[in-house]
Amino acid sequence: MEFTTFTEKVSEGVQKFLGAQVEVAVRDIRKNNGIYLTGMTIFNKESNLSPTVYLNAFYEDYQNGKPLSGVVSDIAKIYEDTKVGGRINMDFFGDYERVKKQLFCKLVNYEKNKEMLKEAPHRKFEDLAIVCYYAYANEIIGNGTILIYNVHMKKWGINDGQLLLDALENTEKNLGYQWYNMLDMMRDMLKENLQNERGLADIDEDEFSPEMAEDLAEQIIEGLQNESGKGPMYVVTNRGKYLGAICMIFDSILQDMAKIMQSDFIILPSSVHEIILVPEADGGEICHLKEMVREINQTQVEPQEILSDNVYYYDREKHKVTML
């Protein structure tokens, strides 16, 4: 069954399953990097908040043998678990003074988001673009973000200069940053994975104790360090570890990291959520670094979370980031 037919049949099935109190609609929804996902929105007449369930992963399940009835049942359960009763007043969103404290910035790929950027205020940064979003935390609907478009600015009666100024200030002051030695992160992940594997394999604690897992993780990290012959790399993100690649636009953060590393450094865009810093002396051939970033993007990063295939250089004397 082709995807279009699948979405039609699932839509009909969910509508029949949930009954006349809801209305089911399927549409393509634009995500980051120009990627479109097919979402099923289930409208409840008693609420102005409607959950959207993305069907792409369900289609893969169907192709792998899951019956259509099972897909319909799963989507109906998601709706029942996430539906919101009553109505939420969104009038506050029309008042810029009430909104501006929760405005922040993130980085996206310029070329991959050209269509979206025609409708959204932004500032170019090398091959990237700085855009703004509203972050909400609601006890009923949870946490999320709303991308800011030109129509919002028009409603608020402000220009993009004011919007970016406020959002950049909030991002730097309120989201902050944190950094990790990459080998330390890998060491902690290895310890956790080794412990989990011990549990899954039902290995006796005397045969493979937590201390043994820690020693093995240490040996692996030492081997990696000896093999590379390089100094530490650093992962930098914001305190929420969400959309943290924006840290690379703030000179105050980059200056702090340059002092820690005592060096200029190369910036690898790990994803929209974090960046990796490599001391200049350990950078190696730029073409190899680019190839490494490209390969990781293709194999390890979700398409909508890719930032760039390029790498960047930070000159601590010039206080400048340059794409290489």
Model pTM score: 0.82
Regarding whether 133 and 26 lie in a shared domain, the answer is no
Q: From CA 97, how far away is CA 5, in angstroms rounded?
A: 47
Per-residue pLDDT tens, the chain, 324 aa: give them.
Answer: 899 999 999 999 999 998 988 899 999 999 999 999 999 998 887 777 778 899 999 999 999 999 999 999 999 999 888 776 666 667 788 899 999 999 999 999 999 999 999 999 999 999 999 999 999 875 555 678 899 999 999 999 999 999 999 999 999 999 999 998 877 665 555 555 555 554 444 444 445 556 665 565 455 445 444 444 456 789 999 999 999 999 999 999 999 999 999 999 999 999 999 999 988 876 567 888 888 899 989 988 999 999 999 999 999 999 999 999
Q: Which of 160, 175, 190 is the last residue of a domain?
A: 175
Regarding whether 132 and 71 lie in a shared domain, the answer is no
Regarding whether 304 and 272 lie in a shared domain, the answer is yes
Regarding whether 292 and 273 lie in a shared domain, the answer is yes
Regarding whether 264 and 243 lie in a shared domain, the answer is yes
Regarding whether 182 and 319 lie in a shared domain, the answer is yes
Regarding whether 206 and 319 lie in a shared domain, the answer is yes
Regarding whether 280 and 253 lie in a shared domain, the answer is yes
Regarding whether 264 and 150 lie in a shared domain, the answer is no
Domain that holds residue 7: 3-82
Q: Which of 82, 106, 126 is the last residue of a domain?
A: 82
pLDDT at position 92: 80
Burial of 97 (0-12, 13-18, 19+ CB in 10 A): exposed
Q: Which of 151, 175, 199 is the last residue of a domain?
A: 175
Long-range pairs for 308-312: beta carbons < 8 A, 24 or more residues apart: 308/109, 308/127, 308/128, 308/269, 310/126, 310/127, 310/269, 311/266, 311/267, 311/268, 311/269, 311/286, 312/126, 312/248, 312/266, 312/267, 312/269
pLDDT at position 219: 54
Regarding whether 115 and 210 lie in a shared domain, the answer is no
Q: Which residues pair with 137 in a beta bridge?
A: 143
Regarding whether 156 and 77 lie in a shared domain, the answer is no
pLDDT at position 289: 85
**How many independent structural domains does the chain possess?**
3
Paired sense of beta strands 36-44 and 22-30, if any: antiparallel
Regarding whether 318 and 211 lie in a shared domain, the answer is yes
